[in-house]
Amino acid sequence: MLYAVLALFGAAFAAPFLYRRLGDRAGAVLALVPAALFVYFAGRAGTVTGGETVRQSWAWVPSFDVSLAFTLDGLSLLFALLITGLGALILLYASGYLAGDDHQGRLYGFLLGFAGAMLGLVLSDNLIALFVFWELTSFTSYLLIGYKHGYEDSRASALQALLVTGAGGLALLAGLLLLGAMGGTFSLTELAPQAEALTAHPLYAAAFVLLALGAITKSAQVPFHFWLPNAMAAPTPVSAFLHSATMVKAGVYLLARLDPILGGTTLWVWTLAPIGAATMLTGAVLALRRTDLKKILAYSTITALGTLVLLLGLSFEESVKAAVVFLLVHALYKAALFMLAGSVDHETGTRDVTKLGGLRDKMPWTSAAAILAGLSMAGLPPLFGFIGKELAYKAKLGFDAADIVLPGIALLANALTATAAAIVVIRTFFGAPTETPKPAHEAPWSMRIGPLVPALTGLMLGIVPALSAPLVDAAAGAILGKPVDVKLTLWYGLGPALYLSIATVALGIGTYLAWDRVRGFLANADGLMARGPEAGYRAALAGMVAFAGWSSRTLQHGRLTGYIATVLLTAVGLVIAALVRHAAAPVLPAWDAPLEAVALAVLVAAAAIAVPLAKTRLAAVAILGASGFGLALLFLLAGAPDLAMTQLLVETLIVLVIVLVMRSLPAFSASAPESAARKARDAGIAVAVGATFTALALVVIAVPLDRTLADALAAASVPEGFGRNVVNVILVDFRALDTLGEITVLAIAALGAAALVRRQRASSETPSDVPDPARLGTEAEGAEAPGETSEPHVSERHVSEPAAS
């Protein structure tokens, strides 16, 4: 299974190159990868539906109990089949939809990368691996929503989706870590038998709330639902794949996965069920306000996600079965409808239902698929959607604690969903043909197969429900933790569920006929909507930027003396706090220093005192150098030749750097008008630092040195490191990873510092918009990035804006 995930990632990387080779045919070729994986998973279906669970594991970070452990049970299988099957269809569809688009190679790459992440997510048995894949789906989704990155709203929507799901991801990470700590393992398989202990654990509520936050942001539940309709800025194939069938279901998947471990408690039911119910209603009502096909579908997706969260929230056998069936139902019809909306847009130039009509004759294939998918969405027999709705009604009727409220809400939401289905299908494909921006014609074959296959599957599974039974049983069984038999049929007999279905259809038709008035009525509430949760998102974002600006302006004031004082005083404060806390008093050691060391120490101290008294800057630098060289000699006396050499060389180069810096500094005068108060303040800081660190040094040398590590390293140096210079062996062998980190920091610091120095010069010497050739030179390559990404308020401090490059 690792190879299945890797195959998708590999295909993702190959996609741009393949596109360059094959042009518009690349999408169809790439579709073979998920198609092959679909066959692979379908081949495993027999084993899994037989009750077995396929497990494979690779060590990843064994020291942290993180492994790439994959589990294929019924639930994973259902998702894996949806991801690979719909993925293949959507890639094929995209190759027609995007024909002629120069960037499609990139889109295929993102789509396949997403599919790989999603597949990894549903197969992962390890919580940490699951989280990594979860974040990858957020990340690839960001790239996909922002595909048309030339448009402002596209970028804003992508960022919004990333921030909302990313914030939820952080909560999820915290929740997963808590869960891991509570259960003592990161393996879902090992957590499952501990369900009772975990739900009784004192940290249960905290873990649950964090995990639920992750799930409800990802699955666009109220009040975080707003990002999903905005994500429709993505190209339609992306919406069909991510924002209907797969990514938004990741939250649902997580809840389903955690249900056997954490589900069924009062907290679980009474948190998730109301959120799900509220989401159902919100989506259903808001869908009727829209006239854009994709937006209507997006809001109806929110309704469906609410239904799934509600059903999983109820967390009893009937509701879990209904959830599994409805999940499959929804993925099939919604992916089809999104693709159809894309086809209509592609062939007519508009997605506004008020401008569309009578496409049935011109687009026979597309309308046939739309009718099937629409009937399934409305929940009419003999489509699979009818079965899904019946089961959901039965589940809600079976939940005793809210006997009227729940079916009532479900009735309203389902009726409005049926209305939305009618709007999408009837308004678009029936009635009098309208004048469209492009003369309407049938979509190419690649765009017909994509929607037709899931639409026909919905019909087939409705007529012969037994076909889906093994898969549904296995998936529900995986959640419930025991073999179950879900009764799938078009006829459950007379009963409340059937009456509710009839009422749903009647109410749906009624609302459809009055849609124009309903929409006008809803439009009155637009002002209220503008103050909805999305306004909160915007306010939070603006607040964050304002805070960042304030903190940057306060902390990054640009005064060197201020920076140094901050650093030094912080260090002094921390050292004093540590000394006080450990009640450590400095002890004067016995006097055994050799005479030459004393002489050097006096030299260093005298130089330090002389620096501030120097009359010229050059003299100050030279005296400072004397202090540094004296220190180097002290190191040498103490038997640390490496340290001494380094100190000497660094000292030399620092003098050089200061000399160079001096050239760009304003003229120095020892009689600069420095107030007595300022001098006193600086002297005070200097004395405080000196005294504190002297005290620290005295405390440290009073403690007997623990030589265990030093001796061990010295002993290992020659036999294991083949070197007699222990310092160097430690640097390049024993602790080479640390050194690698250090030189990496060094390289980054050099690039950053050089960029800053050059930028400062460029801005002070070329105050015009003329591109500065020096900054365009090869040496400036590394300097480009930091200069361009800095925030505007930072550059305000400069004399002028840096030259454009």
Task: Pick the piece of the chain touching other proteins (CB under 8 A) from 294-302, 312-320, 506-514, 745-753.
Answer: 745-753
Among 185, 754, 790, 800, binds other proteins (CB under 8 A): 754
Q: How far is the CB of 56 from other proteins (least distance, A)?
A: 19
Q: How far is the CB of 646 from other proteins (least distance, A)?
A: 6
Residue whose CB is less far from other proteins, 570 or 664:
664
Task: Pick the piece of the chain touching other proteins (CB under 8 A) from 431-439, 474-482, 625-633, 653-661.
Answer: 653-661
Q: How far is the CB of 632 from other proteins (least distance, A)?
A: 12
CB 332 within 8 A of CB 462: no
Residue whose CB is less far from other proteins, 585 or 750:
750
Q: How far is the CB of 622 from other proteins (least distance, A)?
A: 15
CB 267 within 8 A of CB 311: no
Among 52, 642, 769, 791, binds other proteins (CB under 8 A): 642
Residue whose CB is less far from other proteins, 566 or 744:
744
Q: How far is the CB of 649 from other proteins (least distance, A)?
A: 4
Q: What is the total count of residues that contact other proteins (CB under 8 A)? A: 52
Q: How far is the CB of 771 from other proteins (least distance, A)?
A: 11
Task: List CB contacts of 549: < 8 A, sequence separation 6 or more.
Answer: 791, 793
Residue whose CB is less far from other proteins, 686 or 757:
757
Residue whose CB is less far from other proteins, 642 or 791:
642
Identify the bridge partners of residue 524 per DSSP, sorted by sequence position. none
Among 463, 750, 785, 794, binds other proteins (CB under 8 A): 750
Report if residue 744 touches other proteins, rule: CB under 8 A: yes
Determine the distance from the C-alpha atom of residue 120 to the mean position of all C-alpha atoms in its chain, rounded to a whole number.
15
Task: Pick the piece of the chain touching other proteins (CB under 8 A) from 93-101, 126-134, 495-503, 643-651.
Answer: 643-651
Sign of the dihedral defined by the CA atoms of residues 504, 510, 516, 521, in that order: negative
Task: Pick the piece of the chain touching other proteins (CB under 8 A) from 447-455, 534-542, 587-595, 735-743.
Answer: 735-743
Nearest to 244 by CA among 338, 177, 323: 338
Report if residue 653 touches other proteins, rule: CB under 8 A: yes
Determine the distance from the C-alpha atom of residue 532 to the mean position of all C-alpha atoms in its chain, rounded to a whole number.
24
Q: How far is the CB of 67 from other proteins (least distance, A)?
A: 17
Burial class of residue 482 in the structure, from the number of CB atoms within 10 Å of its CB (0-12 exposed, 13-18 middle, 19+ buried) = exposed
Q: How far is the CB of 728 from other proteins (least distance, A)?
A: 4
Among 189, 350, 739, 800, binds other proteins (CB under 8 A): 739
Q: Where are the alpha helices (DSSP H) in 464-532?
A: 469-480, 496-513, 515-523, 526-529
Report if residue 740 touches other proteins, rule: CB under 8 A: yes
Report if residue 632 touches other proteins, rule: CB under 8 A: no
Determine the distance from the C-alpha atom of residue 425 to the mean position of all C-alpha atoms in its chain, rounded to a whole number.
35
Identify the bridge partners of residue 415 per DSSP, sorted by sequence position. none
Among 747, 785, 794, 804, binds other proteins (CB under 8 A): 747
Q: How far apart are CA 293 and CA 340, in angstroms?
A: 10
Other Cβ atoms closer than 10 A to 591: 6
Q: How far apart are CA 45 and CA 48, in angstroms?
A: 5
Residue 71's φ and ψ, nearest 5 degrees, are: -125, 130
Q: How far is the CB of 68 from other proteins (least distance, A)?
A: 17
Q: How far is the CB of 107 from other proteins (least distance, A)?
A: 31
Report if residue 757 touches other proteins, rule: CB under 8 A: yes
Residue whose CB is less far from other proteins, 597 or 757:
757
Task: Pick the piece of the chain touching other proteins (CB under 8 A) from 76-84, 551-559, 570-578, 640-648.
Answer: 640-648
Task: List CB contacts of 218: < 8 A, sequence separation 6 or more.
Answer: 134, 138, 165, 168, 169, 247, 248, 250, 251, 254
Identify the bridge partners of residue 55 per DSSP, sorted by sequence position. 71
Helix and strand element counts for the chain (H, E): 37, 2
Cα distances (Å, whole numbers) of residue 737 to 517, 709, 734: 69, 18, 8
Report if residue 724 touches other proteins, rule: CB under 8 A: yes
Q: How far apart are CA 329 and CA 189, in angstroms?
A: 28
Q: How far is the CB of 753 from other proteins (least distance, A)?
A: 6
Residue 206's φ and ψ, nearest 5 degrees, are: -65, -45
Among 749, 785, 794, 804, binds other proteins (CB under 8 A): 749
Identify the bridge partners of residue 41 per DSSP, sorted by sequence position. none
DSSP of 596-617? HHHHHHHHHHHHHHHGGG-SSH
Task: Pick the piece of the chain touching other proteins (CB under 8 A) from 333-341, 624-632, 684-692, 717-725.
Answer: 717-725
Q: How far apart are CA 725 and CA 302, in angstroms?
A: 66
Binding mask 776-805 for other proteins (x = CB under 8 A): -xxx-xx-----------------------
Q: How far is the CB of 772 from other proteins (least distance, A)?
A: 6
Q: How far apart are CA 346 and CA 358, in angstroms?
A: 16
Q: How far is the CB of 736 from other proteins (least distance, A)?
A: 5
Report if residue 330 touches other proteins, rule: CB under 8 A: no
CB 165 within 8 A of CB 138: yes
Residue 673's φ and ψ, nearest 5 degrees, are: -70, 80
DSSP annotation of 574 reads H
Task: List CB contacts of 609: < 8 A, sequence separation 6 or more.
Answer: none
Report if residue 765 touches other proteins, rule: CB under 8 A: yes
Count CA atoms closer than 13 A to 122's CA, side-chain side. Answer: 31
Q: How far apart are CA 231 and CA 147, in angstroms?
A: 11
Greatest CA separation for the chain: 107
Report if residue 774 touches other proteins, rule: CB under 8 A: yes
Q: How far is the CB of 773 from other proteins (least distance, A)?
A: 4
Among 53, 185, 189, 646, binds other proteins (CB under 8 A): 646
Task: Pick the piece of the chain touching other proteins (CB under 8 A) from 4-12, 13-21, 209-217, 767-775.
Answer: 767-775
Report if residue 713 touches other proteins, rule: CB under 8 A: no
Among 289, 417, 772, 787, binds other proteins (CB under 8 A): 772
Q: How far is the CB of 757 from other proteins (least distance, A)?
A: 4
Report if residue 722 touches other proteins, rule: CB under 8 A: yes
Residue whose CB is less far from other proteins, 613 or 649:
649
DSSP of 111-172? HHHHHHHHHHHHHB-BHHHHHHHHHHHHHHHHHHHTTSTTSHHHHHHHHHHHHHHHHHHHHH
What type of residue is 645? Answer: M
Q: How far is the CB of 748 from other proteins (least distance, A)?
A: 9
Among 728, 771, 785, 804, binds other proteins (CB under 8 A): 728
Among 57, 185, 189, 766, binds other proteins (CB under 8 A): 766
Residue 52's φ and ψ, nearest 5 degrees, are: -90, 160
Among 641, 684, 690, 771, binds other proteins (CB under 8 A): 641
Report if residue 153 touches other proteins, rule: CB under 8 A: no
Residue whose CB is less far from other proteins, 544 or 747:
747
Q: How far is the CB of 552 from other proteins (least distance, A)?
A: 24
Task: List CB contacts of 94: < 8 A, sequence separation 6 or more.
Answer: 27, 104, 107, 108, 111, 235, 237
Other Cβ atoms closer than 10 A to 153: 11
* Contact positions vs other proteins (CB under 8 A): 641-642, 645-646, 649-650, 652-653, 656-657, 660-661, 664, 721-725, 727-729, 731-733, 736-737, 739-740, 743-744, 746-747, 749-751, 753-754, 757-758, 761-762, 765-766, 772-775, 777-779, 781-782
